[in-house]
Amino acid sequence: MVHGAHRAQRGTRRAVSVSSLFSPSEGTHSLKAVRQAQAVDTNGAMVGLSPEVMDKLNEIVPETRRSIRLARESENHHHAAVVSASLAALVGATATAAMAGNPSRPSFTASAETTTTSTLRPVSAASRSEDRTPLPQNSDDGTWSLGASNTSLDISAMSKSTAGNPQIASLMDQDYSSLPSGFNPNHATGDAGNNYDFSQCTWWVYVRRHQLGLPAGSQMGNGAQWAASARSMGYWVDRTARHTGDIMVFAPGQDGSNPTCGHVAIIEKVNPDGSVVTSECGVTLQGKTFSRTFTADQVSQHQIIHY
């Protein structure tokens, strides 16, 4: 009987009231006791608790793994919603700025509807509209000027040649289309000072060439030998008078020159008709010079040393 009574007592459900949960004489503060009390008093239904009781229960009841997971998922959903809203606001601001910068551009509205795309067939050629305004044509009837600064240009600094002598560089620019193939403006000059006897024709030619900034050799021989000597050192030699300072070479006895030694003279002026005016010296003149005029035909009979 004792055992039967004991079993009967174990199977009997004892009523527990919610008001006794926080009584110091009986009950416990565990979540299990609370749920048991709610089930007994309401026949399994949840009871509405006052806010004070709910706050107290939330303080003493530990978080479960499920509640932690649900809270984390809720936070992730909230973050995704914030990012989506920010992106939508950014797209809208960009579209507004683009429309403000280009009023003629057609407006558009973002839509969540599905966009249907179509494939365009390529065409073989593009056509021009008949009412299209033709492009303006270039015109070459305008004027152009450097202005006042062109009066101070340094011509020698604009030379196309690579001559080390600025005077030769300037002359080469004028003779650009006539220069011999492979001509080297920096060839040897043979200049070691004026070694010619005073008042000789060779003495005067050396002096006058240096006055004009042009080279002349110191050991080029008698007048008749100058063309061959100059050519051997790389000077440009032909039969055309081109510039002031060119050397006109006379063969022995030519145009009244010495029948043994020949003669040399400086061309001081080239006339439009090809005739030239010379400056010359001789041993009997004591350093004084004289000039003559030679026709273009006469000049062509002489060898001319340029530079």
One digit per residue, pLDDT tens: the chain, 307 residues?
Answer: 444 444 444 444 444 444 444 444 444 455 555 556 555 555 554 555 677 766 666 666 566 777 777 778 877 776 677 667 777 777 676 666 666 655 555 544 544 455 555 555 555 555 555 566 666 666 555 665 666 555 565 554 555 678 999 999 999 999 999 999 999 999 999 999 999 999 999 999 999 999 999 999 999 999 999 999 999 999 999 999 999 999 999 999 999 999 999 999 999 999 999 999 999 999 999 999 999 999 999 999 999 999 9
Q: In b/e form, how buried is each residue of 15-30, taking b as 16+ CB within 10 angstroms?
A: ebebeebeeeeebeee
Contacts of 276 (CB under 8 A, 6+ apart): 241, 248, 267, 268, 269, 270, 293, 294, 299
pLDDT at 244: 98
- CA-derived radius of gyration, the chain: 58
Cα separation values, 94 from 67, 89, 99, 291, Å: 41, 9, 9, 89
pLDDT at 68: 77
Q: In b/e form, how buried is each residue of 210-241, taking b as 16+ CB within 10 angstroms?
A: eeeebbbbeebebbbebbebbeeebbbbeeeb
Q: Which residues of the chain form CATH 3.90.1720.10?
A: 166-174+188-305
Judged on CB neighbours under 10 Å (0-12, 13-18, 19+), 113 is: exposed
pLDDT at 77: 72
- Report the C-alpha gap between 185 and 164 in whole angstroms: 8
CATH 3.90.550.10 fits 166-174+188-305, yes or no: no
Contacts of 195 (CB under 8 A, 6+ apart): 218, 219
| pTM for the whole structure | 0.51
pLDDT at 5: 45
Q: In b/e form, how buried is each residue of 160-169, taking b as 16+ CB within 10 angstroms?
A: ebebebebbb
